[in-house]
Copies of this chain bind each other. A is one copy, B any other.
Amino acid sequence: MSELPASVRIREVGPRDGFQNEPEVLPTDVKVRLIELLAASGVRRIELTSFVRPDVIPQLADADAVLERVRLPADVSASVLIPNERGLERALAHRERFSEINGFLSASETHNQHNVGRSVGESIAGLERTFARAEREGLRCEAVISTSFGCPYEGRVPADSVLEIARRLVAAGAQEVGFGDTTGMANPRQVRDFFAQARAELPAEVELTAHFHNTRGQGLANVLAALEAGVCSFESSFGELGGCPVPAGATGNIASEDLVSMLHEMGIATGIDLPALVAAARAAQEALGRKLTSHLLSAGPIDWR
């Protein structure tokens, strides 16, 4: 495995993806404390919140307050998930508090309709306007393409279709494209083939990010396959929070601490202090008052004596 990268970048999505999927609304001061614990552990990319409609997602209704209150080291890249142009305008009231936006759509028509009530073409058009506005503000744009490896409504999603969407979003200004395995349908062979094709077909300066779910226990195997295909950027969630719990009861995002443990054991640097990251996940577990499902929360980091 000499071809593996020496280091990778990790974007922590728990404060957005995780807190959004909790049944209870977490108090803003708890969110701020947990985000600051994540930053203190060495995490250098954090998706802080999202400017979605507060009546639809009350869990993130405090997006303004989170952005204003959280104190982060200068080298942390903070991002916000932006559903549409209106959300971007709301976020821009706090322009100095973040440097990246994450815009999203699904690769499959049916999932996109269920998720945002638009066609894929309408979502692309919206992202073109959103990214143009964000670029004028000096923001870095990531496009996240959900259901890139399979759709619970449509089944197989052709890689060519996903990459055609990626090309259009890169042309619209995305400097990074995240490919999401939204309901855990990806397998390692598919992942390696997909990212080999993506790397060959998309401009070299575009950062390719893998966003895997552990729905069927295969999340870290897919990470290994992506590493072998040259992927150096991953998204994950501390405590294994959030993700898309479909089917009901299934786990979602890969756990940040499980990911970091495997990478460090393989000699791949992340810049993160693993015990401090586990402590942040434990603080989330205590704040939420229920047992979270990451493996490191039970097993702890390996003690090599």
Chain A residues packing against B (C-beta within 8 Å): 1, 4, 150, 152-156, 184-185, 187-190, 192-193, 214-221, 223-225, 247, 249-251, 254-255, 258, 261-262, 265-267, 294-296, 298-300, 302-305
Contact = CB atoms under 8 A, between A and B. Distances in A.
Contact of A266 (B154, B187, B255): B187
Nearest to A296: B216
A250 B225 CA distance: 25
Nearest to A268: B189
Contacts of A217: 214, 219-220, 254-255, 258, 261-262, 294-296
Contact of A1 (B188, B265, B299): B188
Oligomer copy total: 2
Given A299-B215, A299-B247, A305-B154, A223 B221 contact: yes
Given A217-B258, A217-B262, 14 more contacts: A1-B188, A155-B305, A187-B265, A190-B266, A215-B299, A216-B262, A217-B254, A217-B261, A217-B296, A218-B262, A221-B223, A221-B262, A249-B299, A250-B298
B298 A218 contact: no
B304 A150 contact: yes
A299 B250 contact: yes
B189 A258 contact: no
A262 B184 CA distance: 11
Nearest to A184: B299
Contact of A220 (B1, B220, B247, B250): B220
Nearest to A301: B216
A23 to B, nearest CB: 18
A255 to B, nearest CB: 7
Contacts of A216: 258, 261-262, 295-296, 299, 302
A74 B300 CA distance: 44
A275 B123 CA distance: 37
A247 B214 CA distance: 22
A142 to B, nearest CB: 25
Contacts of A298: 247, 249-251
Given A192-B1, A251-B298, A258 B218 contact: yes
A215 to B, nearest CB: 5
